[in-house]
Amino acid sequence: MAARRALLIANRHSRTGARDLSAALEVLKAGGVTILERQCDRSDEVADVIRRAAGEVDLVILAGGDGTMNAAVEALVERQLPLGILPTGTGNDLARTLAIPTDLAEAADAIAGGRQHRIDLGRANHKYFFNVASIGLAAEVTHHHTAERKRRLWLLAYVLSVRDAWRTTRSFRARLRCDGRALRLHALQVTIGNGRHYGGGMTVHADATIDDGWLHVYALKPRRFWRLLLLLPVVRFGWLDRSEATRALRGRTAEVETRRPLPVNTDGELTTHTPARFSVVPRALAVFVPAAYQTPGEADGRAVERAPDRVE
C-alpha cells in the first residue's frame, strides 16, 4: 500500500485521552502512515486545525470520543478527508457502531489496513451529526454530564446525569413531521437517529445502521423516574416498536416544532435549537473500518433495507 500522510488530533481531555498512543503509532508507522500531530486544547479548534492541514494530508485520525468526532465533522465533509478513529472517549458510540476495537493498537490496525466504508450523516438545521440528535431529556443530560464527572465515574456518570436531568426536565408538546406525516406529541424526549448507538451503548432502533439512508425517530412519552428505569431494556436494544411508552417512525427528513425554543443535542453537544429540520445525507463520509466489518443485518444473514437513492 502506498505511503499515506495522516493528521492526528488527540483529545487529551477525554476520559481516557491521556492514554499512551505509542502502540497505535507504531502500528500506523509499520502500515506506511506518516503522522502529523496537532494538539487542540478546545473542541472548537478541531475543525480549523483540519482545514489548515487539509492540503498536507491524506486522512485525519481522531483520538477521542463522540464529542471530538462531532467537532470535526464539518471540516471532514468540506475537505472530503477519510476519518480514522482511535476511541478514547467515554461512550465511543460511533466506534461501537462501526465495530472499531477499543484496544488502540487494534483500532490503528484498522486504519493501517486501509478499508474505507462510506457512512451517512444526519443534519440538524445546519449541523452534521454521526449518531443522534435529541430534544428534551437527553439535551438536559448534557448540562449535567460534565467532563469531570465522566472522567471520575465513567459509565456510572451517565446514569447519574440522567437522574439529575430528569429532576429538571419538563415534558413538552411538539409537532413532528416525518416524510410528510404529521403528529402532535406530548413528549419527555424526541430522538432522531442516523447511526446505531448513542449514550454509551443505547440502540437507536433494532434495525438501524449508519449506512441505510434512514433517520430513525422516536418520541418518549412522559414517565415517572421509576417507570423510566423500566424502559432501559427498550432503549438499550432498540425495541422501540414494542413499547407503549414510545412512538417510533422512520424517514428521510423530520421536522420538530415546539412552543418555545428548546436546545438540540447532537452527539452529546448542544449545537442548535427548535424549530429544527433534520435530514440524512447518504454516504457523506469515508471512515476506516476493520477488514471484517459487517452491518448487524449482514452479520446475522438478514437483508438490510436501505432507503432509495435520491439527489441531495
Contact 175, 184 (CB under 8 A): yes
- Residue 301 placed within a domain: no
Full-model pTM: 0.85
Give the closest residue to 260 by CA, choosing from 274, 270, 271: 274
- Residue 309 placed within a domain: no
- Are residues 27 and 166 both part of a single domain? no
Per-residue pLDDT at 312: 42
- Are residues 90 and 165 both part of a single domain? no
- Are residues 99 and 145 both part of a single domain? no
- Are residues 35 and 141 both part of a single domain? no
- Residue 300 placed within a domain: no
| Three cell numbers, residue 264 | 438540540
- Are residues 104 and 132 both part of a single domain? no
- Are residues 131 and 93 both part of a single domain? no
3-state secondary structure of 80: coil
Per-residue pLDDT at 86: 97
Per-residue pLDDT at 291: 92
- Are residues 160 and 233 both part of a single domain? yes
- Residue 305 placed within a domain: no
Q: Which residues of 279-300 are buried (b: 16+ CB within 10 A; e: fewer)?
A: bbbbebbbbbbbeebebbeeee
Contact 160, 241 (CB under 8 A): no
- Residue 286 placed within a domain: no
Give the closest residue to 265 by CA, choosing from 109, 141, 122: 141
Q: At what angle do helices 155-168 and 137-144 cross, to 10 degrees?
A: 120
Digit-coded pLDDT (tens) for 137-173: 766 665 555 556 666 655 566 667 666 766 666 788 9
CATH label of the domain that carries residue 76: 3.40.50.10330
CATH label of the domain that carries residue 144: 2.60.200.40
User: Total structural domains in the chain?
Assistant: 2
- Are residues 163 and 277 both part of a single domain? yes
* Among 69, 92, 114, residue at a domain's last position: 114
Per-residue pLDDT at 281: 97
Per-residue pLDDT at 145: 59
Per-residue pLDDT at 310: 54
- Residue 121 placed within a domain: no
Per-residue pLDDT at 277: 97
Per-residue pLDDT at 203: 85
Q: Residue 165: which domain range?
A: 127-281
- The beta strands (E) that lie in the chain are given as 4-10, 33-39, 59-64, 83-87, 116-124, 127-129, 132-136, 172-178, 181-187, 189-193, 197-198, 202-203, 215-220, 246-251, 253-258, 263-266, 269-273, 276-288
- Are residues 104 and 161 both part of a single domain? no
- Are residues 265 and 212 both part of a single domain? yes
* Per-residue tens of pLDDT for the chain, all 312 residues: 667 999 999 976 554 544 689 999 999 999 999 999 988 878 889 999 999 999 999 999 999 999 899 999 999 999 999 999 999 987 899 999 999 999 999 999 999 998 999 999 999 999 999 999 999 876 666 555 555 666 665 556 666 766 676 666 678 899 999 998 999 989 888 999 999 998 877 888 888 999 999 999 998 886 676 566 666 667 777 777 777 767 889 999 999 999 999 999 999 888 999 999 999 999 999 999 999 898 765 655 555 666 665 534
- Are residues 131 and 267 both part of a single domain? yes
- Are residues 155 and 209 both part of a single domain? yes
Per-residue pLDDT at 297: 57
- Residue 122 placed within a domain: no
Residue 277's contacts (CB-CB under 8 Å, 6 or more residues apart) are: 123, 124, 125, 253, 254, 255
* φ, ψ for residue 46, nearest 5 deg: -60, -50
**Kind plus residue range of the DSSP H or E element containing 109:** helix 104-113
DSSP state of 90: S
DSSP state of 44: G
Q: What type of residue sits at position 240? A: L
- Residue 97 placed within a domain: yes
